[in-house]
Homo-oligomer: A and B are copies of this chain.
Amino acid sequence: MAYSPLVRELMEAFRCLPGVGPKSAQRMTFTLLQHDRAGARRLARALEDAAQSVGECADCRNLTEAERCPLCLNDRRDPAVLCIVENPSDVQALEDATDYQGRYFVLKGRLSPLDGIGPGELGLEALEARLQGGGVREVILAISPTVEGEATGQYIAQMARDAGVSVSRIAHGVPLGGDLDYVDAGTLSHAFAGRGQYQ
């Protein structure tokens, strides 16, 4: 083995990153050690700080080091509208693409009993208490339309109806710029059944 122990350890440690194989890990190691030690130190500090301090928001379960995340602390956002998403990255995607001004709730997963992921793992008891509490007027489901996503959506929709809260979900259909020829049959059938008045 041509590498010294610390160099080898760094190469192996990079493998915990998603999408990083042996070649990328080697490239990252050499690039940082040869050209960017300051970047390496900054990344080390950022990793250590985040791993140490980042927990989840008491309201929406999004990742944050404070008790509540910036969006839940923002008074100008309507707490009566709640958008349910699967992942923290979905929150940013919606913030970038829409002018939504309500709050979020991050499931961090989908119901999947076979993998041991039940309502408790997704924080659905807390969500139910919040819906029953009466502060929420509308729930918007922005969950991906997979089998498990649909099951999760139905479970939450039932909870919302039981609490007398109206439920909507984001539209599924042909993506903008999409060619009908290349859209799968399930999406096309959804888009056809969900057609709206031509404006």
Residues of chain A whose beta carbon lies under 8 Å from any beta carbon of chain B: 1-7, 9-10, 12-14, 16-19, 24, 26-34, 36-37, 39-51, 53-54, 62-66, 69-71, 87-89, 91-92, 95, 108
Check if A62 sits within 8 Å of B2, measured CB to CB.
Answer: yes
| Copies of chain A in the complex | 2
Query: A44 — which chain B residues lie within 8 A by C-beta?
Result: 43-45, 47-48, 51
- Would A4 and B37 be within 8 Å (CB), given that A30-B87, A89-B27 are in contact? no
For residue A110, give the distance in angstroms from its CB to the closest CB of chain B.
14
- Would A4 and B65 be within 8 Å (CB), given that A89-B26, A108-B34 are in contact? yes
Q: Which of A17, A39, A65 has the most CB of B within 10 A?
A: A17
Check if B92 sits within 8 Å of A3, measured CB to CB.
Answer: yes
